[in-house]
């Protein structure tokens, strides 16, 4: 547990942080969000004593930070910054090994750990280990930055706008990868960003800051449902309902799919009594296409219909959010779309009604 008690920090005349009370629970991903100059980074940097509070105190598991030697403290806290700050004269492996070496680990353990960490962040240790930072792309460099911060297995991870300098496509991937790493490792993470979408995507709890003060501290859903004031509502944006959907996973709201095997009498379905639709799958459950009585008549060849479809534009992955499902629905002008797993096997379907249901449920909380 990291606890700020009445913490203030001034730089000359300016108070970057004033009378902050904040408790960050163990194994939670806490995002500090706010416009620039809100004091986010100052708060973060007080946790590893790169900045000292002017008043109040910061404690870690009840122990005051001031009583811990800064270098010892920092070796137990992972730190990832926007500019990455890889050491240009050291290889990727050597960069990842820095903290374990500072801690005096045996050489074999250090190099095994470096390999493990590179694998964790999705970089092949044989390919990337001997490279130098100048030979990496921005996204790769930030992956190495995360691997380096996690190398000594610290219980706490501080991340200061780690993905801001990466292009949007890679940023989304890095965020998703980081979330899956965090689900496995369950570190106490303090994450600074000015990007509300990023905050909502990642956080267990969000602390909204404005000119050095904490204005609301809540789970993302609660924040979206009930912003404390007009500033927060404005900061969250006018698309709060959509953002709420982005926090909801399709897997929690989908329903069983109406499916038909490609080996069945598909023509019979088209001419039969049932006026509905079927998702057609092959023998291994992979989604092939859709037969809809409203669109296809009895005389048409079902296989031709399926072959002409671009079902992959319509299908959504069960690990994406309701927001993505809504987008896919609008894009394919269908009220019901199929849900697939990573191998494109049909696992369910989701309808516009389900999304409305999810949205209503959230508002009425």
Indicate whether 68 belongs to the interface with other proteins (CB under 8 A): no
Q: Which is nearer to other proteins, 105 or 132 (CB)?
A: 132
Long-range contacts of 177-180 (CB under 8 A, 24+ apart): 177/121, 177/122, 177/143, 178/146, 178/202
- Under rule CB under 8 A, which residues in 305-334 are in contact with other proteins? none
Query: Can you point out the beta strands (E) in the chain?
Result: 2-11, 14-24, 29-33, 55-60, 63-64, 77-81, 156-160, 188-193, 205-210, 213-218, 259-261, 277-281, 287-292, 316-317, 336-340, 346-351
Encode burial over 282-309: b for 16+ CB neighbours within 10 A, e otherwise.
eeeeebbbbbebeebeeeeebeebbeee
Which segment (14-22, 135-143, 226-234, 269-277) binds other proteins by CB under 8 A? 135-143
The site map against other proteins for 13-52 (x = CB under 8 A) is -----------------------------------x-x--
Q: Which of 66, 87, 312, 357 binds other proteins (CB under 8 A)?
A: 87
Sort strands 55-60 and 29-33 into parallel, antiparallel or unpaired: unpaired
Indicate whether 96 belongs to the interface with other proteins (CB under 8 A): no
CB of 94 to other proteins, least distance (A): 10
Q: Which residues pair with 33 in a beta bridge?
A: 193, 208
End-to-end Cα spacing for the chain: 28
Indicate whether 81 belongs to the interface with other proteins (CB under 8 A): yes
Indicate whether 11 belongs to the interface with other proteins (CB under 8 A): no
CB of 158 to other proteins, least distance (A): 8
Q: Which of 40, 74, 171, 205 binds other proteins (CB under 8 A)?
A: 74
Which segment (27-35, 130-138, 231-239, 281-289) binds other proteins by CB under 8 A? 130-138
What are the distances in angstroms from CA 251 to CA 286, 320, 339, 340, 350? 17, 8, 8, 10, 9
Which segment (27-35, 81-89, 116-124, 185-193) binds other proteins by CB under 8 A? 81-89
Which segment (127-135, 194-202, 244-252, 284-292) binds other proteins by CB under 8 A? 127-135
CB of 320 to other proteins, least distance (A): 30
Which segment (68-76, 275-283, 307-315, 351-359) binds other proteins by CB under 8 A? 68-76
Indicate whether 132 belongs to the interface with other proteins (CB under 8 A): yes
Q: Which is nearer to other proteins, 29 or 86 (CB)?
A: 86
299 and 326 in contact (C-beta within 8 Å)?
no
350 and 253 in contact (C-beta within 8 Å)?
yes
Q: Residue 290 half-sphere exposure, CB side, CA atoms within 13 Å?
A: 23
User: Would you tell me which residues interact with other proteins (CB under 8 A)?
Assistant: 48, 50, 70-77, 79, 81-89, 98-99, 102, 131-132, 134-137, 145, 148, 158
């Amino acid at each position: 547990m990291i606890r700020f008690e009445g913490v203030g920090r001034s730089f000359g005349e300016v108070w970057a942080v004033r009378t902050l009370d904040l408790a960050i629970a163990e194994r939670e991903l806490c995002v500090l969000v706010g416009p620039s100059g809100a004091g986010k980074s100052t708060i973060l940097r007080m946790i590893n004593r790169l900045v000292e509070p002017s008043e109040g105190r910061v404690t870690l598991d009840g122990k005051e930070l001031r009583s811990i030697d800064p270098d010892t403290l920092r070796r137990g806290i992972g730190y990832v910054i926007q500019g990455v700050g890889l050491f240009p004269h050291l290889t990727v492996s050597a960069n990842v090994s820095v903290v374990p070496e500072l801690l005096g680990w045996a050489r074999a353990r250090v190099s095994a750990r470096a390999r493990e960490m590179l694998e964790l962040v999705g970089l092949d240790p044989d390919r990337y280990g001997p490279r130098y930072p100048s030979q990496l792309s921005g996204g790769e460099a930030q992956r190495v930055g995360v691997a380096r911060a996690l190398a000594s297995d610290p219980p706490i991870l501080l991340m200061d706008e780690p993905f801001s300098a990466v292009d949007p496509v890679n940023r989304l991937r890095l965020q998703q990868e980081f979330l899956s790493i965090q689900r496995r490792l369950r570190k106490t993470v303090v994450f600074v960003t000015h990007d509300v979408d990023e905050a909502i995507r990642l956080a267990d709890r969000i602390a909204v800051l404005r000119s050095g003060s904490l204005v609301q501290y809540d789970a993302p859903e609660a924040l979206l449902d009930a912003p404390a004031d007009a500033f927060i509502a404005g900061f969250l944006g006018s698309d709060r309902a959509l953002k709420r959907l982005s926090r909801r996973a399709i897997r929690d709201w989908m329903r069983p799919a109406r499916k038909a095997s490609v080996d069945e009498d598909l023509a019979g379905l088209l001419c039969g009594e049932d006026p509905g639709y079927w998702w057609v799958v092959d023998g291994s459950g992979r989604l092939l296409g859709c037969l809809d009585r409203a669109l296809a008549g009895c005389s048409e060849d079902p296989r031709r219909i399926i072959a002409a479809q671009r079902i992959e534009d319509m299908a959504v992955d069960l690990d994406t959010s309701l927001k993505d499902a809504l987008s896919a629905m609008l894009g394919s002008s269908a009220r019901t779309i199929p849900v697939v797993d990573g191998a494109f096997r049909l696992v369910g379907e989701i309808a516009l009604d389900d999304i409305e249901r999810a949205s209503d449920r959230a508002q009425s909380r």
